[in-house]
Amino acid sequence: MTGFPGRVVSRRRRDTASRATGWWRLLVAVAMALGTAVVLPRPADAATIDTTAYYQVVSRSSGKALAVQDGSTADQAQIVQYTTGAATSQQWQFVDSGGGYYRLRARHSGKVVDVAARSTADGAKVVQYTDNNGANQQFKPVDTDSGYLKLVNRNSGKVLDVYGRSTAEGAVISQYTDNNGANQQWRLVRVDAAPAHNPALPGYNADPQVRYLAGQYWIYPTSDGYADWGSTKFTAYSSPDLVNWTDHGVVLDLANVSWCHARAWAPTIAYRDGTYWLYFSACQQIGVARSTSPSGPFTDALGRPLVSTGQYGEQEIDPDVFVDDDGTAYLYFGSGNAEVARLSASMTAFATAPARITPASFREASNVFKRNGTYYLMYSENDTRSEDYRVDYATSASPLGPFTKAAGSPVLSKDTGAGILGTGHSSVVKVPGRDEWYIAYHRFRIPGGDGTHREVCIDTMTFASDGSINRIRPTLTGIAPVTP
């Protein structure tokens, strides 16, 4: 709900604004006379909004900031005003929707400001809601004066408004016919940027496999930046918190693999009985190497491929190993089709013949994990050279399938407004002892990346009450350090 029909700005308010403007002019005049510069923070105007930044949206009438009530992350949480502070629930990113309109995305939840039920009525409730780029989620910043803006809803033509011109903590925000009230005017105050943690790894890397091993988080990527994906070495990185990474250098060099010296792609790793097992793609075949340490060095365990080129009728690449609660290990692989086989106790042979489990729209990059008795198969759709490379997922009651594509797919895709393209080839990791999950994936390098100039990112992954994966928002900022 919002202010009252037919209201006008009081003479007193106009006089107050006039006096404020007068004091400002006097200050500038004095400064000029003294030959000194006046340096005060300049609020953003409509022409200078930075879509990579976060802003507090501060009411002209109350001095309080647009916020999500109680810091909620739920759909339909009320938008209110609170005293300005450091809470991320009052920090907003302006996501470009085109035509001068933006979605206001909450930093803490990833949801956007939304006029409830697409209402066009005065007094309609304003909430946060999952971003669907609806016209009722789009607002045009329109300059007024002195650095203040009105935020005009694309669906209704009405503006964001503090109910009843209230200055109270927690007063609700709604939409209302534009009457140029001070409670309809907002100042954008840029928030000092927190350290950006995306990309998570330095340089060009892709196809990240993230694991928790030996008391730390580890990432095993494809080294990128080579024409025709021509890397010949595998590297590893470790971290205590998923943010601060140590480069362990080369852990496996294909120069030391007798059956292939080219195209080192997409490794995966598992631990069993004191040994770390690295499964890797090379020459579009799959090999297995072993080490007594997650930092290597790894040595080829077979002297030949575990899976040879074309052996099962698809590109034999992108291995993923999953160890179930009972200790049984499974290997997933394939591009074009998905295969799964149970591994023997030796970890160097199949105990069962590979079986095809290809879900709808599958391209490559299988990654399997288990949560609350459900097996999740995450995979990539389209081509890694495409900006539409993205992550889908399917579920099953068994690690051997069948897997059914989830209704919520794709669950991770590009954000053109933020310049994030080609989000794919993912893996996920759970924080030990907590139902807290993170996803590692690659995207095109920013700026100017493509399908061979990619970088690894990490973002938060959450679940709905029915076990489905909530839409994952790729970010420029990444995550905060994960504490034990």
- Choosing from 207, 224, 387, 392, the catalytic residue is 207
**Rounded-to-5 percentages of helix, strand, coil across the chain:** 10, 40, 50
State what percent of residues in the chain have pLDDT above 90. 80
Q: Which residues pair with 299 in a beta bridge?
A: 290
Domains defined for the chain, CATH in brackets: 11-25+42-190 (2.80.10.50), 205-461 (2.115.10.20)
Which pLDDT does position 86 carry in this prediction?
76
Q: Which two tokens stand for residue 419?
A: 């310049």
- pLDDT bracket for residue 1 (50, 70, 90): very low
- pLDDT bracket for residue 43 (50, 70, 90): low
Which pLDDT does position 146 carry in this prediction?
72
Read off the pLDDT of each residue in 119-132 and give the average, rounded to a whole number: 96
Which pLDDT does position 37 carry in this prediction?
35
Name, of 6-15, 186-195, 311-320, the range with top average pLDDT. Answer: 311-320
What are 361-420's pLDDT values in tens digits?
999 999 999 999 999 999 999 999 999 999 999 999 999 999 999 998 899 999 988 899
- pLDDT bracket for residue 61 (50, 70, 90): very high
- pLDDT bracket for residue 159 (50, 70, 90): very high
State what percent of residues in the chain have pLDDT above 70. 90
Mean per-residue pLDDT of the chain: 90
- pLDDT bracket for residue 32 (50, 70, 90): very low
- pLDDT bracket for residue 434 (50, 70, 90): very high
Read off the pLDDT of each residue in 15-38 and give the average, rounded to a whole number: 38
pLDDT at 480 over 50: yes
Which pLDDT does position 31 carry in this prediction?
37
Rounded distance, CA 335 to CA 107, Å? 36
Which pLDDT does position 47 carry in this prediction?
63
User: Is 326 part of the annotated catalytic residue set?
Assistant: no
Which pLDDT does position 301 carry in this prediction?
98
Residue keyed to tokens 């097992």: 277
User: Is 436 part of the annotated catalytic residue set?
Assistant: no
Which pLDDT does position 27 carry in this prediction?
39
Read off the pLDDT of each residue in 230-243 and give the average, rounded to a whole number: 97
Rounded distance, CA 277 to CA 213, Å? 12
Which pLDDT does position 3 carry in this prediction?
35
375-379, Cβ contacts within 8 angstroms, sequence gap of 24 or more: 375/399, 375/403, 376/469, 377/332, 377/338, 377/401, 377/403, 378/411, 378/426, 378/427, 378/428, 379/338
- Choosing from 131, 300, 316, 364, the catalytic residue is 364
Question: Of 33-47, 122-136, 327-341, where does mean pLDDT reach its minimum?
Answer: 33-47
Q: Tell me the pTM.
A: 0.66
- pLDDT bracket for residue 48 (50, 70, 90): confident
Rounded distance, CA 100 to CA 141, Å? 8
Rounded distance, CA 460 to CA 419, Å? 19
